[in-house]
Amino acid sequence: MGINTTSKQDLEDFKSYIIAEKNFSKHTAKAYCSDILSFLVWMDEESCEDITLQKIREYLHFIQKFNYKKTTLARKIASLRTFYKYLYRERKVDSNPAMSLINPKRPKSLPKFLTPDEVEQILNNTKIETPAGYRNRTILELLWATGMRISELAGLNFGDLNLENNEIRVLGKGSKERIILVTDRAKNFLERYIETARALIPKGFPAPPEEENSPVFINNTGYRLQTKTIRNAINDVVEKINLPKHVTPHVFRHSFATHLIENGADLRVVQELLGHASISNTQIYTHVSTQHLKEVYNEAHPRA
């Protein structure tokens, strides 16, 4: 078993494309490339540029025996579709053989979210006595106040900040820029972090200057902060306060959107703030809000 040399180079080029041009997160890029690598290994020495739709269907039939979840199968199909769309764009194939693949129906599940009290509980139990702790609290305040993705937050540079107008420019999926708004509370944390804590975080290393292309959030060696550090910080707090929920940075994003909808925000405004390409992606939060309303009704009404 091996991988065709041409296919191997195509995969390397594809990886560069989805990271540099499509602005995929490292997590998504890794998953897509892993999916394609598995496909190339299955094809053995056959070139990916000679593959037909029938061959791809044979591969999908082959992986059925692994009993993947429908969400995983949907991602693998999306990986193949994106890979061959790239090859078609580069004129390495005459057509996209994966274009007509149909995703399996995903089970409908509402996004998990935190109540405002639960968010405050997490924020107030994030230690701020150390420079790194103050940085983490600032990040959580921003996630709660803006609904930005953790990858967008980690990628912030000083040139993206317009704190005088309570605005931050972020680079979202597909390299799409948008402006998000910041509350005064989150802005105050960010300003104090920049003025005091940031320079103290690196241990024995100089903090990068506050220049346009310098990262806002840094680690203890002075380099751009990785998202894993934030996930670990959240996990530590949630474990300490025994919160019976699985909390991730994306749960903060869900919570932000849900509470905006619950408090009467226009759906189009929420779509713009979240950076959703389609409003159908935003509409799920109206269902979350309705479900929450039903739960409160059933708990509070004497005849419910």
Is pLDDT at 274 greater than 90 in this prediction?
no
Q: How far apart are the first and last CA of the chain?
A: 63
Pairing of strands 177-181, 161-162: unpaired
Half-sphere exposure at residue 117, Cβ-oriented, CA atoms within 13 angstroms: 1
Tell me if residue 111 falls in helix, strand or coil: coil
Is pLDDT at 297 greater than 90 in this prediction?
no
* Tokens representing residue 94 in the block: 């005459």
Q: How far apart are CA 34 and CA 24, in angstroms?
A: 14
Cα angle 186-289-275, degrees, rounded to a multiple of 5: 50
Q: What are the beta bridge partners of residue 178?
A: 170
Reported pTM:
0.69
Pick from 214, 219, 217: nearest CA to 158: 214
106: confidence class by pLDDT, cuts 50, 70, 90:
low
Between 23 and 186, the higher pLDDT residue: 186
- pLDDT for the residue 165: 95
Could you tell me which residues come within 8 angstroms of residue 300 by beta carbon, excluding any fewer than 6 positions away? none
Q: How far apart are CA 157 and CA 146, in angstroms?
A: 16
- pLDDT for the residue 245: 87
By annotation, the residues acting in catalysis are 149, 173, 250, 253, 276, 285
Q: How far apart are CA 133 and CA 152, in angstroms?
A: 20
Q: In whole angstroms, what separates CA 174 from the centre of its chain?
A: 12
* Tokens representing residue 147 in the block: 């609904």
- pLDDT for the residue 201: 95
CA dihedral 153, 159, 163, 169 (to 10 degrees): -50
Which H or E run contains 292?
helix 279-300
Each residue of 63-95: pLDDT tens digit?
A: 988 988 888 999 999 999 999 999 999 999 998
302: confidence class by pLDDT, cuts 50, 70, 90:
low
Cα angle 211-214-217, degrees, rounded to a multiple of 5: 125
Strands of the sheet with 177-181, listed across from one edge: 161-162, 167-171, 177-181
Between 107 and 226, the higher pLDDT residue: 226
265: confidence class by pLDDT, cuts 50, 70, 90:
confident
Each residue of 228-264: pLDDT tens digit?
A: 988 998 888 888 898 888 898 989 999 998 888 888 8
Cα angle 132-137-143, degrees, rounded to a multiple of 5: 125
118: confidence class by pLDDT, cuts 50, 70, 90:
very high
| Averaged confidence pLDDT in the chain | 88
- pLDDT for the residue 83: 95
- Per-residue pLDDT, averaged over 2-15, amounts to 90
Could you tell me which residues come within 8 angstroms of residue 3 by beta carbon, excluding any fewer than 6 positions away? 37, 40, 41, 43, 44, 45
Instruction: Among 113-117, 158-162, 274-278, name the one with the lowest average pLDDT.
Output: 274-278
Q: How far apart are CA 204 and CA 222, in angstroms?
A: 9
